[in-house]
Amino acid sequence: MKETLPITRVAVIGAGIMGSGIAQLAATAGYETAVYDASPQQLSLARREIEASLGKLVSKGLVDRAAASRALGRLTECATLEAAAAGADLVVEAAAERLLVKQSILSESASVASPSALLATNTSQLSITAIASAVPGAADRVVGLHFFNPAALMRLVEVVAGLETSAATIAAARDFAESLGKETVVCLKDSPGFLTSRIAAIVRLEALRMLEEGVGTAADIDRALRLGLNFPIGPLELGDRNGHDTFLLILESMTDTLGERFRPTVGLRNLVAAGRLGRKSGRGIYAYDEHGKIVQAEQP
């Protein structure tokens, strides 16, 4: 078993909802953090979102101002994947939830990162073993490092072992997550949806089915789960935060691996086809004002 290096340089590939949050966490914890996104607009948006998020944490007294400005100083946006991953001790892939995209990112990253780098993926449910098959000779260093949205605030990171992932890699992945102030669980068996997404998907899917059947309004379905079942946020509102396009990809993949109970609804397909992806596109199941407050619920 090869030893993994102590981590000083982190590369985050994909700077959307999750990648920007993961980069923020890594930079705040003291890691030199390089970020790349295939979309240059998204890359500059990510920096603005990290600045805004750190600003909020400062105003709530959760991060001090000097620490926030040091974090921003450790962040570098890179124009290419190679530039971001070169010499990295840890690569965290947080791009689109598609197997081929993740395989190609980790394979390209492995060729320029440190020879002992941890190669992590933030996939919500794809097989770590299948992703690792694209990096022959390094499958022992590939691991699931599954953050939750918003990454800066959610307490858990789920560490997922692929069939070939070494014990040293699992230990290093846990240490890294804990160095960001997170708690960890380990999904020992590479199984679709791991310990979390399998349940989360079923709950959100059932809420979408109820909405489409007209059982209640979106606002009442969300309120019912918040007030009656003690959910911190309603599943439909959470869907708007997490992105319906990503959820559709997750469900399509989980229908393949786990069966019909994960089949996406027609309403979800329509939302994505209409570009109503949630907060990231300004409109999803709910519409939002310029401050991000819900102004109305719309049926998909």
Cross-sheet strand order for the sheet of 156-161: 75-77, 32-36, 9-13, 90-93, 118-121, 142-146, 156-161, 183-187
130 phi/psi in degrees, rounded to 5: -70, -40
Cβ contact 145:122 at 8 Å:
yes
Identify the residue whose tokens are 């307490």. Answer: 155
If the CB atoms of residues 58 and 186 are measured against ligand NAD, the closer one turns out to be 186
Cβ contact 261:108 at 8 Å:
no
For the record, the structure tokens of 184 come out as 């960890």
Residue 94 binds ligand NAD, judged by CB under 6 A = yes
If the CB atoms of residues 116 and 149 are measured against ligand NAD, the closer one turns out to be 149
Residue 37 binds ligand NAD, judged by CB under 6 A = yes
If the CB atoms of residues 58 and 185 are measured against ligand NAD, the closer one turns out to be 185
Q: How far is the CB of 159 from ligand NAD (least distance, A)?
A: 13
> 3-state DSSP call for residue 138?
coil
Report cis status (omega within 30 of 0) of the bond before 150. yes
If the CB atoms of residues 31 and 148 are measured against ligand NAD, the closer one turns out to be 148
| Size of site (CB under 6 A) for ligand NAD | 29
Residue 96 binds ligand NAD, judged by CB under 6 A = yes
Identify the residue whose tokens are 């004002």. Answer: 289
Residue 15 binds ligand NAD, judged by CB under 6 A = yes
Q: How far is the CB of 66 from ligand NAD (least distance, A)?
A: 29
Among 7, 25, 91, 105, binds ligand NAD (CB under 6 A): 105
**Cα 200 → chain centroid:** 14
DSSP character at residue 261: G
Q: How far is the CB of 263 from ligand NAD (least distance, A)?
A: 18
Site for ligand NAD in 164-193 (CB under 6 A): none
Q: Which of 98, 150, 156, 155 is closest to 123 using CA atoms? A: 98
Residue 91 binds ligand NAD, judged by CB under 6 A = no
Among 129, 149, 179, 191, binds ligand NAD (CB under 6 A): 149
| Alpha-carbon span 151 to 24, nearest angstrom | 9
Bridge partners of 120? 92, 143
Q: Which of 133, 49, 47, 141 is closest to 92 using CA atoms? A: 141
Binding mask of the shown chain, residues 44 to 83, with x at each position contacting ligand NAD by CB under 6 A: ----------------------------------------
Binding mask of the shown chain, residues 249 to 278, with x at each position contacting ligand NAD by CB under 6 A: -x----------------------------
Residue 110 binds ligand NAD, judged by CB under 6 A = no
Bridge partners of 76? 34
Residue 284 binds ligand NAD, judged by CB under 6 A = no
* Contacting residues toward ligand NAD, per CB under 6 A: 13-19, 36-39, 42, 94-97, 101, 105, 122-124, 147-149, 242-243, 246, 250, 280
